[in-house]
Amino acid sequence: MNSKALTRAAAVTVALIAVATIGCELSATFKQLISLIGGHHWIGKSVLSVVFFGLLYLVFSKLFDDRFVLRDTLLLIATVMVSGLAILAFYIWHA
């Protein structure tokens, strides 16, 4: 297992969840498209998060060496915080 690739795949997947969440609220067509997976937009996002996590790991494991450093984890934590705050700020604005 390539730790760097898995950590970076996690960071990108988290960011994509935030983008998909906000995108679904801004575009009814996009929300409908996501809803085609499992019949509900939340199920669609859940399935896509697993699929993207797996696919991104496969791609990143070809691109990055396995030299795992703490900076990768800090980048992931920063991504989680920014993505979470972006979702919160969006829904406060959107409500």
Partner 1 sequence: MVNPLILIHAICAELGLFAFLWVLVEMLNPTETRIARAQVAALTGFAFLFFAWLVGGFYYVEVYGLHIKPLINASDAKWVHSIIMEVKEHVFLFLPILATLVLALLYKYDTDLTDNRDASVSIVLLSGLIFLLGFSIAGMGAIISSGYRFALMAGLT
Which positions lie near partner 1, rule CB under 8 A? 1, 3, 6-7, 10, 13-14, 17-18, 21, 40, 42-43, 45-46, 49-50, 53, 68-70, 72-74, 76-77, 80, 83-84, 87-88, 91-92, 94-95
At its nearest, how many Å lie between partner 1 and the CB of residue 72? 8
Side chain identity, residue 70? L
Amino acid identity, residue 93?
W
Judge contact between 76 and 10, C-beta under 8 A.
yes
Please say which residue, 1 or 29, places its beta carbon nearer to partner 1: 1
Residues 64 and 94: their CA atoms lie apart, in Å, by: 38
